[in-house]
Structure 1
């Protein structure tokens, strides 16, 4: 797979079309799939934004917007930013339109893609003009203009990041999604919700107790979680914005909720009958059916993206391992065979992979197994950097968010590509953060 895969593939689809005119629209073209995390990343140049009237406010807003763009595009998982020290041109001085760009300045340093930006500030309003170019073929791939108050610049940039992702992959990426996670507050554990990148964290629960295992509904409107607020683990189901919901308080332990894709139903692990078994419930907590039945403990259910299968953890073989049950046939297959302790299955959005937590030689790390290739050796994604747990996939399948103790704090949220590369801390908050979960893909709204 060559480094120019993205651009060359695009141009095969564009062959025969005229070059796009120099305006903030892009010629229609078919999209390609570049979301495979094992592809070489595509180099993209992100030069300084142009202050269109030259005011200090525009320069300041442009610098902040560029930083937001750089951070945002890191969440595509398939773009690599070219070092600005290598730039041979400065569009903030020479111009940001196609006729003002010498594309050889960018191909000469290996940049296959280029984004130029212009900022105009007037009467408390900001106009942001952004263009995405294919440098090797002198092609405008996407151009947009956004207008709004200065406090909306971050949102404007993320809207354009979504446009970039969609132009190159046909997917809107993570930019309209949310994160939920657990954070310590005054010695308690509470549920928080934030933007996709950990910004703007908002406290969701105030139980002043232990709250765990947050899970998003498919529409992003509901959270299910476990809380000890009543003295034992019960499952709370709450609307994200409205004051309504349900508490599941059956005898015993009520834990590990997981929503069924596209349904107001969820799988939970309950122990009211003795062993911990997995049941399907309505959003109101009404029993639909029992899903597992074995002498062992069955917990941590996770539905496949199509809702037809359920991954879960069971010790029916003697040690905790991951299994998959086909909900139509009832057939159960064991997924993990390496290691004596494997938990926390997380299904990729394409249904082809499961990330999970495994313990090997007293080290807790994240692994991934490919389901569509039959039984095989798992791929280890983290190693030699503290304990790593709680994997969850991004909506587009390019990234995995997880918890790590590598910074010595006892738990912080990190993110990596689905290949295990580019591991970095996602947020900086007081206390310890664990159990991050990205919301499902939401409708893209401009």
Structure 2
């Protein structure tokens, strides 16, 4: 189980508690729900000054393509957007790059959105290196109206990679759980929170969603049968299967990097301990042997070890254990309450929730090579951080103005973006992987 499924529940309840039965309904993705708005706050250090002009014809399309691109780039924390709202440019233009250089712009993007006779849209863009006074290439995408946001995200990814040399994450997806009255819904959405689609609805809680490495499956914990079971669901077809439905509680799933196994927390033998199990529900093997609560496991990217939370030292701290079993090593020492670890895909960082002086729970970041820790947030009720697949951003849940909301932050904590709904509390975020298959 998670150590903080509910802020008011005790450690013993979190390790062993059960919830009442309910009814759930899994559905393939396809029905859009209430969208988010993005609010950028904070001032970054050195950022690349970029201008993205309004795309010609986008005022006649269902989506503001250039505005989506600008928001994506700014949220990454690596770019400073220079106003180009009054410009009339497209991908075929020959902009006066010397004038843009005089405005301290390093790169300029422009494009167009054109409707086709069959109802699809032709989206084109061009990127210029203002400092070198030359073009950097462009692209044309023909998409149905429902994929215009995805086209904007893919263009954002291309611009990000051309300017930084790293892959962008704007076309990836997140998952999270919303609650409206007694209705819980597992959603899948774009990385900016827009275009949310329901994967599961239930009158009982849904917790701990975890993406498979292929980006096509989600594992999560459902209470709909009267006890906590670990479910794996295909997010496209809605098909799902129980992979851990043992006696007692079954909770906190995390996928191995190769997608063949999950580590789960089970109480089948008494206390809450870590077990490895095949993605098909076969081959159960106990990993930890303690009299404590061991839970909230996450894999190292190389698949050789697992990080987890345990109260074996008195209070919850983060530990590491080899996948094959063996000596357990404590990882966190700063503070008396550290939970919810996530390891960056590049293996360099660990983010987690730590309690600081005054009782606030905040997102922390540790550099694993040297153990140095910094606090990234100034809020009080942060939960469940998760890395973007390029290791550049972290998504997490927190409280703001009396509501559960989602935030992203850069690794220096300088740029934060709030993704907020008007009608629901949202929690349990997890960022999906890079995927190569069509969405």
- Give the TM bin, normalised by the shorter chain: 0.7 to 0.9
**Residues 49 and 62 of structure 1 are in contact (CA less than 8 Å); yes or no, is this contact kept in structure 2?**
no
Question: Over alpha carbons, which structure has the higher Rg?
Answer: 1
Instruction: Evaluate the alpha carbon distance shift between residue 149 and residue 238 of structure 1 in structure 2; reply closer, same or farther with a 3 A threshold.
Output: closer
1:73 aligned partner? 73
Q: Which runs of 5+ in 1 are unaligned?
A: 1-37, 52-57
Distance 1:442 1:77 in 2: 23
Taking a change above 3 Å as real, the CA distance of residues 59 and 298 of structure 1, as seen in their structure-2 partners, is closer
User: Is 1:47 aligned to residue 53 of structure 2?
Assistant: yes
**Counting helix residues as a fraction of each chain, which structure ranks higher?**
1
Q: Matches of 1:340 and 1:314 in 2, distance apart? A: 12
Shift of residue 203, structure 1, vs aligned partner? 1.8
TM-fit CA distance, 1:317 = 1.0
Measure, in 2, the Cα distance between the counterparts of 1:430 and 1:264.
37
Q: Which segment drifts farther, 170-179 or 275-284? A: 170-179
State the Cα distance separating 1:152 from its structure 2 match.
3.5
Does the aligned pair in 2 maintain the 1:172–1:444 contact within 8 Å? no
Q: Does 1:218 align with 2:213?
A: yes
**Contact in 2 for aligned 1:184/1:432 (Cα 8 Å):** yes
Alignment of 1:113-192 (within 5 A): 113-123=107-117, 124-192=119-187
Distance 1:206 1:150 in 2: 27
Question: Is the contact made by 1:76 and 1:165 (CA closer than 8 Å) also made in structure 2?
Answer: no
8 Å CA contact retained: 1:50, 1:62: no
The aligned residue for residue 290 of structure 1 is 286
Deviation string 1:291-339 (CA, Å, 9 cap, x unpaired) is: 1112221100000112111110011111100011233573422111111
1:22 equivalent in structure 2: none
Aligned residue for 1:381?
A: 376
> How far has the Cα of 1:97 moved from its partner?
4.1
Residue 403 (structure 1) aligned to one of 397, 401, 418: 397
- Post-superposition shift, 1:125? 4.7
Higher strand share: 2
Q: Whole-Å Cα distance in 2 between the matches of residues 274 and 312 of structure 1?
A: 18
Unaligned runs of 5+ in 2: 1-43
- Go from structure 1 to structure 2 and tell me whether the alpha carbon gap of 1:281 and 1:156 turns closer, same or farther (over 3 Å shift): same
Answer whether contact 1:65 1:154 (CA < 8 A) is retained. Answer: yes
Q: What residue number does 1:370 align with?
A: 367
Distance 1:333 1:350 in 2: 21
CA positional deviation for 1:117: 1.3
Report deviation, 1:427: 3.6
Aligned twin of 2:96: 102
Work out whether 1:330 is the aligned partner of 2:330: no
Aligned to 2:269, the other structure's residue is in SS state coil
**Partner in structure 2 of residue 275 of structure 1:** 271
Q: In structure 1, what is the Cα distance between the partners aligned to 2:266 and 2:130? A: 57
What's the CA shift for 1:59?
Answer: 4.1
TM-score (structure 2 length as normaliser): 0.83
CA distance in 2, matches of 1:442, 1:414: 23
Q: Identify the range of structure 1 (329-338 vs 299-308) with the bigger mean alpha-carbon deviation.
A: 329-338
The yes-or-no answer on 1:235 pairing with 2:230 is yes
Shift of 1:157: 1.7
TM-superposed deviation, 1:170 = 4.0
How far residue 380 of structure 1 moved from its aligned partner, in angstroms, is 0.2
Is the CA contact (8 Å cut-off) linking 1:42 and 1:78 kept in structure 2? yes
Write the distance in 1 (CA, Å) between the matches of 2:145 and 2:267: 52
> Which piece of structure 1 moves more, 70-79 or 210-219?
70-79
Contact 1:176 1:444 in 2 (8 A): no
Q: Secondary structure at the match of 2:150?
A: helix
What secondary structure does 1:372 align onto? coil
Contact 1:246 1:285 in 2 (8 A): yes
Deviation, 1:433, is 0.4
TM-score (norm 1): 0.82
CA-atom RMSD, angstroms? 2.4
Aligned equivalent of 2:352, options 327, 335, 356: 356
**Residue 443 (str. 1) matches residue 436 (str. 2):** yes
Q: How far does the alpha carbon of each residue in 1:369-409 deviate from its partner, in whole angstroms, 9 at most, with x for none?
A: 11012x33x100001x3411110011111111110102321
Q: Does 1:321 align with 2:327?
A: no
